[in-house]
């Protein structure tokens, strides 16, 4: 999906426009306890276009001086977006902060559409002409509070969406990414994986976009590590900000089949780790928990077990995810990640034969009678797998209301036992039989 970023100095109305464009979507609380969508990144639609949109104003850059914050937000937009909406305030005219943003945007090769906000009625349209001086061509008048002008603005933005689709790697290629807080060792791990014996990194010369993916082969199998540019070309100040790391994670998750959630053994589990992991689960990706910097802590024979218990207690929703303990520095067990990636990827795309599936579930139901509610008992007629990545099942029943979460959970566990769905979420939906 193309990515749009909104930039501009504070108080020009970026968040209002962001919320207008994404509609209600951002306020949706997902079914993972404790995980609410960040209000800086969301998907949106306009006519036939599907896109993602970032409100860079929501990325808090810490204590930097005002102009420096604006500059960094603009740079994030340049790094992350295909098209930039540069927003100014039509009631205040061109300010020096607007000119600063403009200067940074000139230097990028990304298309920029200039939006003049707070033009709440047609009489105010005259005020947009001043903004030609910013040098981005025709300014588009909009009104966040009245919801005016957004259609024309998005039409213009859509003209600059990249023409060619994203690189398509084919069904058999395993796409994975490493996500986690800053400094947990993601880039070190990528380098350690690619430095493994028998890992053959493909020649990525000649790719037009800056190479953010690294394709490689190992034991004759093809893999792509997603979104490494951000990890490898380091040194930008904003990379250490929390919201930016979430943004990076979301973008990587979106393009991956398998997500490695990297934790830092030295620091233990933080709230931010759970949030990032929650996104991977919610997106239906296969998940592996990687505990890095295992070399850096004092250990005895109980340490690993204690770590595992702690992880399981904090990541209840990831009870299916395997845990690996590694060190990017000493390379210990780095090689063991690759077979785990293979395994979870296999479960993630596993398709179960309908007759076998129904046999297993009918046996399960015979062992553990279905629940009743108000004198009515849940009846399960049959089940069918409707999708992979993640495996998704539709259970045809007399009344979906009777298929309680706990019974669903029981069926899920039976499926896990029977088919070894290691590392992948499973989705189960109840439908009334027609």
Q: How many CB atoms lie within 10 A of CB 306?
A: 11
| Binding span for ligand GDP by CB under 6 A among 15-23, 326-334, 393-401, 423-431 | 326-334
For residues 135 and 107, the answer to whether their CB atoms sit within 8 Å is no
Strand ranges, E, within 13-80:
41-46, 49-55
Check binding of 143 to ligand GDP (CB under 6 A).
no
# residues near ligand GDP by CB under 6 A = 16
Cβ proximity to ligand GDP: between 84 and 291 the closer is 291
Residue 217, helix vs strand vs coil: strand
For residues 432 and 399, the answer to whether their CB atoms sit within 8 Å is yes
For residues 252 and 214, the answer to whether their CB atoms sit within 8 Å is no
Phi/psi of residue 165, each to 5°? -65, 165
Question: Cα(250)–Cα(42) distance, rounded to whole angstroms?
Answer: 10
Q: What part of residues 161-180 is at the interface with ligand GDP (CB under 6 A)?
A: 180
Could you tell me the two tokens for 218? 């190992």
Beta-carbon contacts of residue 190 (< 8 Å; ≥ 6 apart): 178, 214, 225, 228, 231, 232
Cβ proximity to ligand GDP: between 265 and 360 the closer is 265
Q: What part of residues 78-117 is at the interface with ligand GDP (CB under 6 A)?
A: none
Beta-carbon contacts of residue 291 (< 8 Å; ≥ 6 apart): 263, 264, 265, 307, 311, 323, 324, 325, 326
Cβ proximity to ligand GDP: between 82 and 213 the closer is 213
Could you tell me the two tokens for 327? 């060190």
Check binding of 251 to ligand GDP (CB under 6 A).
no
Kindly tell me which residue out of 127, 143, 177, 188 binds ligand GDP, with binding defined by CB under 6 A. 188
Check binding of 284 to ligand GDP (CB under 6 A).
no
Check binding of 272 to ligand GDP (CB under 6 A).
no
By rule CB under 6 A, what string of x and - marks binding of each residue 400-419 to ligand GDP? --------------------
Minimum distance, C-beta of residue 60 to ligand GDP, in the bound complex (Å): 18
| Binding span for ligand GDP by CB under 6 A among 6-14, 185-193, 281-289, 317-325 | 185-193
Question: Cα(55)–Cα(16) distance, rounded to whole angstroms?
Answer: 10
Check binding of 194 to ligand GDP (CB under 6 A).
no
Kindly tell me which residue out of 175, 251, 293, 348 binds ligand GDP, with binding defined by CB under 6 A. 293
Check binding of 120 to ligand GDP (CB under 6 A).
no
Question: Cα(332)–Cα(326) distance, rounded to whole angstroms?
Answer: 6
Cβ proximity to ligand GDP: between 183 and 398 the closer is 183
Minimum distance, C-beta of residue 181 to ligand GDP, in the bound complex (Å): 7
| Binding span for ligand GDP by CB under 6 A among 5-13, 22-30, 289-297, 371-379 | 289-297
The burial class, CB within 10 Å (0-12 / 13-18 / 19+), for 432 is exposed
Could you tell me the two tokens for 176? 């994975």
Phi/psi of residue 242, each to 5°? -60, -45
Minimum distance, C-beta of residue 34 to ligand GDP, in the bound complex (Å): 23
Check binding of 248 to ligand GDP (CB under 6 A).
no
Check binding of 231 to ligand GDP (CB under 6 A).
yes
Question: Cα(102)–Cα(390) distance, rounded to whole angstroms?
Answer: 43
Q: How many CB atoms lie within 10 A of CB 339?
A: 12
Minimum distance, C-beta of residue 318 to ligand GDP, in the bound complex (Å): 19
Check binding of 329 to ligand GDP (CB under 6 A).
yes
For residues 62 and 71, the answer to whether their CB atoms sit within 8 Å is no
Check binding of 183 to ligand GDP (CB under 6 A).
yes
Q: How far is CA 104 from CA 10, 76, 115, 373, 398, in A?
A: 16, 11, 17, 62, 61
Check binding of 327 to ligand GDP (CB under 6 A).
yes
Kindly tell me which residue out of 187, 349, 384, 413 binds ligand GDP, with binding defined by CB under 6 A. 187
Check binding of 196 to ligand GDP (CB under 6 A).
no
Check binding of 186 to ligand GDP (CB under 6 A).
yes
Kindly tell me which residue out of 184, 289, 338, 397 binds ligand GDP, with binding defined by CB under 6 A. 184
Minimum distance, C-beta of residue 331 to ligand GDP, in the bound complex (Å): 9
Residue 146, helix vs strand vs coil: coil
Bond preceding residue 118 cis, omega within 30 of 0: no
| Binding span for ligand GDP by CB under 6 A among 26-34, 60-68, 322-330, 359-367 | 322-330
Cβ proximity to ligand GDP: between 227 and 257 the closer is 227
In the complex, the residues that contact ligand GDP under the rule CB under 6 A are 180, 182-188, 231, 292-293, 295-296, 327-329
């Amino acid at each position: 999906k193309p990515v749009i970023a909104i930039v501009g100095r504070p108080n020009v109305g970026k968040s209002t426009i962001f919320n207008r464009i994404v509609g209600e979507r951002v306020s949706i609380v997902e079914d993972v306890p404790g995980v609410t969508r960040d209000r800086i990144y969301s998907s949106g639609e306009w006519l036939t276009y599907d896109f993602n949109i970032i409100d860079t104003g929501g990325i808090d850059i810490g204590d930097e001086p005002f102009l420096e914050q604006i500059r960094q937000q603009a740079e994030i937009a340049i790094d992350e977006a295909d098209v930039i909406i540069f927003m100014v305030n039509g009631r205040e005219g061109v300010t020096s902060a607007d000119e600063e943003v403009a200067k940074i945007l000139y230097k990028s090769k990304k298309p920029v559409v200039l939006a003049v906000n707070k033009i709440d009625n047609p009489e105010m349209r005259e005020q947009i002409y001043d903004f030609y001086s910013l040098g981005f061509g025709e300014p588009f008048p909009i009104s966040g509070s009245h919801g005016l002008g957004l259609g024309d603005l998005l039409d213009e933005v859509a003209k600059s969406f990249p023409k060619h689709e994203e690189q398509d790697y084919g069904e058999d290629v395993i796409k994975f990414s490493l996500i986690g807080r800053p400094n947990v060792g993601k880039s070190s791990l990528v380098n350690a994986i690619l430095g493994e014996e028998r890992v053959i990194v493909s020649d990525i010369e000649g790719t037009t976009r800056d190479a953010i993916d690294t394709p490689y082969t190992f034991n004759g199998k093809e893999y792509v590590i997603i979104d490494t540019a951000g990890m490898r070309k380091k040194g930008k100040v904003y990379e250490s900000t929390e919201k930016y790391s979430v943004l990076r994670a979301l973008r990587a998750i979106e393009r991956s089949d398998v997500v490695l959630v990297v934790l830092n053994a030295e620091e233990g589990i933080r709230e931010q780790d759970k949030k990032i992991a929650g996104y991977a689960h919610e997106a239906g990706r296969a998940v592996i928990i990687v505990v890095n910097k295992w070399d850096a802590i004092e250990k005895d024979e109980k340490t690993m077990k204690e770590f595992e218990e702690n992880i399981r207690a904090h990541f209840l929703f990831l009870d299916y995810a395997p845990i690996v303990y590694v060190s990017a520095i000493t390379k210990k067990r780095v090689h063991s990640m690759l077979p785990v990636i293979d395994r979870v990827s296999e479960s993630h795309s596993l398709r179960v034969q309908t007759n076998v599936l129904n046999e297993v579930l009918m046996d399960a139901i015979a062992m553990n009678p279905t629940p009743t509610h108000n004198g009515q008992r849940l009846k399960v007629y049959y089940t069918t797998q409707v999708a992979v990545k993640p495996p998704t099942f539709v259970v045809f029943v007399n009344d979906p209301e009777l298929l309680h979460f706990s019974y669903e959970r029981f069926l899920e566990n039976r499926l896990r036992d029977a088919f070894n769905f290691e590392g992948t979420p499973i989705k189960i939906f109840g439908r009334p039989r027609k």
